[in-house]
Amino acid sequence: MNPPTVLVTGATGTVGSALIPALQAHGVTVRAMIRDPARPVPGVENVVADLADAAAVAAALDGVDAAFLNGPSTPDAAALQIGFADLAHAEGLPRLVLLSQYAANPDSAVRFLRWHAEVEAHVRGLGLDHTVLRPNLYLQSLRAFAGTIAQGWFGAPVGGAAVSVVDARDVADAAAVVLTGAGHTGAVYTLTGPRAVTHAEIAAALSSAAGRDIAFHDTSAAEFSAALAGLLPPWQLDGLVEDYAHYARGEAATVYTSVADLTGRPARDVADFARDHAALFTRS
């Protein structure tokens, strides 16, 4: 028999780029859905499709055994994901794995969490064989602070609140298990690291790995917004500020064992991430 084929949306993104080798390690055939034909993923089948293009998405879904749905960073992300799910249902997709977010809730003060909850509810209503993954804040988000970290600091409006941050590689490994194994229908897995850490503790881990002092500066939401103005569209910046207010309220500190339960090994700690990415945070 031929190995199963898994469609990965967002194939060049933070999770997608880690998911593809994880799936290959499970012996499946990967079909990478990309938007830019000039950036193909090596070693796999590539299909050029945008979630807004129903015909292209339907073609990408043709003949696959499972799909990983990761929404784009756009203000209509929920609608685009819902459209994909509808097409998947119409095409008879055997399994859908939906990447959501920690604490997704229709009543959340955070727009992104409301959007994710809307997509989750729609997928449940379709009756698809599906699984939901809800990762917490990615450690890989620290790469966005590389510029100031090179100067010895980074800042965010989070105070001393602890967050059970997760490594995106663990999210990918967990997704690979769910996409290729049985027994996950209807499950919702919240994915976190092995402990909740403050941003000051993250700074200490980066300092140890980089061999120099890197400090964390607590900033106000206004200062944070001003620093990022022009780098992100207003809707995304406002949503990011809402995300950090959610973290600062201590609403993202619970630790879950889903990564270990699914993969059979402990989730990566912030110290592991810092060591593995030390070159990013070491001043040249």
Strand partners, 59: none
Q: Is 30 left (phi over 0), alpha (psi -120 to 50) or beta?
A: beta
Give the pLDDT score at 147: 87
Lowest mean pLDDT among 150-154, 155-159, 160-164: 150-154
Rounded to whole angstroms, the Cα distance separating 163 from 251 reads 8
Asked whether residue 1 carries a pLDDT value surpassing 80, the answer given is no
- Mean pLDDT (whole number) for 77-95: 97
Instruction: Dig out the tokens for 98 from the structure.
Output: 């939906």
Largest interatomic CA distance in the chain: 58
Asked whether residue 284 carries a pLDDT value surpassing 70, the answer given is no
Contact 40, 34 (CB under 8 A): yes
Rounded to whole angstroms, the Cα distance separating 4 from 137 reads 31
Supply the pTM of this predicted model: 0.96
Other residues' Cβ atoms within 10 Å of the Cβ of residue 70:
24
Asked whether residue 283 carries a pLDDT value surpassing 80, the answer given is no
- Mean pLDDT (whole number) for 72-95: 96
Give the pLDDT score at 227: 87
- Mean pLDDT (whole number) for 112-124: 98
**Per-residue pLDDT tens digits for 182-230:** 999 999 999 999 999 999 999 999 999 999 999 999 999 999 999 888 8
